[in-house]
Amino acid sequence: MRFEEYSPARRFRMEGYERQNNFNRPKASLVNNGNTAVNKVLLENNLISNKDYDLFPSPFTKEMFLEYYALGKQNLSTIEFPPSLEGTTFLKAPESYYEIRRLNTVEKFMNLPHWEHSNRFNVLLKKMMSMFNCKGAALSLIDSRMQIIKFQHGLGFDQCSRQVSLDSHAILSPGYFLLLDASKDWRFKTNPIVKSLPNIKFYLGVPLIASNKQVIGVLSIFDSFARCNNDESTVKIMKKMSSEIMEYLETPIKKRNHDHRDGTSRMLQSTCLPTGSNSRSGDQNSNNSKLLEIYGRATSNNKRNEEIIFEKDGSGTSYKYHSSLKFSKYSCPYDDLIDLNVWKKLSRCDNLRKASNLLCELLMNKLSLDCIYICNVKVTKNCWINKQFYPLNEREIEVENYKFEDKIEWADEENEYENEVMNDFGNMKMKVIGMAARETRVENMLDSDNAYEFHSKVIRSVNGLNYQSADSRVIFHSGYSLPFYRHPNKLVRKSRMKALQSDRNEIVELFFKSNGYLITCFDSNGRDISESEIGYVYGCASILRRIFFY
């Protein structure tokens, strides 16, 4: 729509806004009067070209894959080999996407008095081994650095580094994590506990989920022999066991004392759990100089072990676990960071804006770019759906979990809000959080239709957009923009529930809301952008997310 075609009230508001701020927004995308000279001047005020052939999808880098892997949205039992990880035969599990929330929950469960009742947990594991005909079973919690094995049979150690732990993958996989033959999975081919003792081939782990939906650990079974398939009932039974364990752990001991009968709690009265007792199986023994060189000191304290798991810290001395270690602004993070120095500098910042400005400056100087900025983009669009498909008692619902998403009807409407740009996706707002640029005029030009159009395309993309243009009339000729954090898309009901229930209309009017953060990098010389550079920038933006978005 041309500027002249807006309603009089709309034009008045737009003109008043421009006069108040003493600045004219570029109208290159709105004006088409056939005057080539005028259009050329307007185009020269644009940051970039928004022609479709100048924009193309950003590559799916290793750093993006690890973020996707850590997000916990898809079962990870079978994951296709991504081209960005070519040659990988041992994948260290990344942190959970919301690791700080998870670690805060783990801390509450780590030293509960419930763990002192070892008999009931040992009975549980022994029964699992018998029921599922497997070599071993374990019950573990995953802390900031370690897999802390509370009870085990057939595993051979009491704790191991998250780097080699299969459970550290299982906490990221919703529902369950199943490996029929770990030695043939590209992620575990050279994993120490797969290649050597305890020689795990078959593995099935189900998460221990607290009442706040955070995963604190894993209940698992394993075997040194691979399997061709797995019975679905096995997963169902183990999920039931996991739920009973969490119910037991979340119930205060004092409250449960009245229910104890000869040391047997209701957790063991399940139809799938027998009475009886069993002590921990003996640990196994080994010394492996290559593992010591790669992973550091041994974390198992049993000298008879036939296999010892290590954590790389270089001391070689006896190890004592520190449960207060966390990825936060005040402690050393997990070693899946792309640049520890960036983390150290960002962790000293008091707020997101300072950290964003600092990160942009660091990246601009390191990569010799001309402009880097971090912005928040919000998109809103009107839509509606039939009443029978929408839960009227819910004010808002997440689109990802909404099974009737295909029933949504989208509205086509004119923009009625200041500071918003109307496009084919809806009303969009953009707010710059941090920025570093070699030209001061760039900051003002971000508030233009040209920039808004570009960012509306980026927020709708999967991994981001790369940009390359030979147009001499624009400022920047190459770059990329990457979404590094997205809030869940939501449907929000417009009307109150009482008004909606009394309304005879069969339609429920909704807002679709999308919200995310982008990091954008531009260069004026039009140089080629490598996949490794995109991965590095995305990894640094992920550090910002970990520290401030939790």
User: What are the angstrom distances between the C-alpha of 419 and each of 14, 17, 271, 429?
Assistant: 9, 9, 62, 7
Q: Which residue has the tokens 């061709």?
A: 228
Average pLDDT, the chain: 78
Out of 33-47, 220-234, 305-319, 352-366, pick the least confident.
305-319
With cut-offs at 50, 70 and 90, classify the pLDDT of residue 272. low
Out of 55-69, 164-178, 261-275, pick the least confident.
261-275
* Total count of residues recorded for the chain: 550
With cut-offs at 50, 70 and 90, classify the pLDDT of residue 284. very low
Alpha helix ranges (H) inside 468-517? 497-502
Mean pLDDT over 11-40 rounds to 36
Q: Do domains 93-311 and 349-548 have the same CATH topology?
A: yes
CA atoms within 13 A on the CB side of 186: 11
The per-residue b/e assignment along 343-361, b for 16 or more CB within 10 angstroms, e otherwise, is: bebbbebeebeebbbbbbb
Higher per-residue pLDDT: 43 or 115: 115
pLDDT cut 90: percent of the chain above it: 51
> How confident is the model at residue 411, as a pLDDT?
75
What DSSP character marks residue 166? S
Q: What is the 3-state secondary structure (H, E, C) of 4-68?
A: HHCCHHHHHHHHHHHHHHCCCCCCCCCCCCCCHHHHHHHHHCCCCCCCHHHEEECCCCHHHHHHH
Residue 321, pLDDT above cutoff 50: no
Domain boundaries, the chain: 93-311, 349-548
Higher per-residue pLDDT: 456 or 484: 484
d(CA 283, CA 285): 7
Residue 127, pLDDT above cutoff 90: yes
pLDDT, tens digit, 9 for 90 and up, residues 67-82: 999 999 899 999 999 9
Mean pLDDT over 84-109 rounds to 93
pLDDT cut 70: percent of the chain above it: 72
Alpha helix ranges (H) inside 279-351? 289-295, 340-346
pLDDT, tens digit, 9 for 90 and up, residues 299-309: 444 333 333 34
Q: What is the 3-state secondary structure (H, E, C) of 83-109?
A: HHHCCCCCCCCCCCCCHHHHHHHHHHH
Higher per-residue pLDDT: 348 or 6: 348
Residue 122, pLDDT above cutoff 80: yes
Residue 13, pLDDT above cutoff 70: no
pLDDT, tens digit, 9 for 90 and up, residues 287-298: 344 443 444 444
CATH class of 93-311: alpha beta
Mean pLDDT over 350-379 rounds to 95
Residue 380, pLDDT above cutoff 70: yes
CATH of domain 349-548: 3.30.450.190
Tokens, residue 175: 């529902």
Residue 407, pLDDT above cutoff 80: yes
